[in-house]
Amino acid sequence: MDDCIFCKILNGEIPAKFIHSDGDTAAFYDVNPQAPTHILIIPKEHIASSAEVDSQNSDVWNKILGRAVQIAHELNLDKDGYRMVINTGEQGGQTVPHLHLHLLAGRNLGWPPG
């Protein structure tokens, strides 16, 4: 997608601090971290939001969720805990229209979210 920030990160047009990249997914640090650890896990395929996941591409859930859990494990986040968040649409707080999962850790995260 030409005007998608995350697609530009994937193709190197915008720099990012990557922690992972494979054929299907990538993970990089959020530019505006909301916790000491704040990583975004995205599919390489441009899917605008969770609302665009259907029976054709639903394997994306396994890919990004599984990758997030693996990264959390590798960063030793299991013991103290972490949160995974997917914002969807305007009221859901989504600002970048490329499906992404936030992995947040390193502080006590309040509930309910704002």
Q: Which stretch binds ligand DGP (CB under 6 A): 24-32, 63-71, 75-83, 105-113?
A: 24-32
Q: Closest CB to ligand DGP among 28 and 82?
A: 28
Question: Binders of ligand DGP among 51-80, rule CB under 6 A?
Answer: none
- E-assigned strands of the chain? 18-21, 25-29, 37-43, 82-85, 101-105
CB neighbour list of residue 103: distance below 8 Å, 6 or more residues apart: 27, 37, 38, 39, 40, 41, 68, 71, 72, 77, 82, 83, 84
Q: For ligand DGP, which residue of 11, 21, 31, 89 counts as binding (CB under 6 A)?
A: 31
Instruction: Name which position in 30, 46, 57, 106 contacts ligand DGP (CB under 6 A).
Output: 30
**96 Cβ neighbours under 8 A, 6+ residues apart:** 4, 5, 6
Residue 91 as a binder of ligand DGP (CB under 6 A): the answer is no
The residues that are catalytic are 100
Binding site for ligand DGP (CB under 6 A): 5, 14, 16, 28-32, 40, 87, 93-96
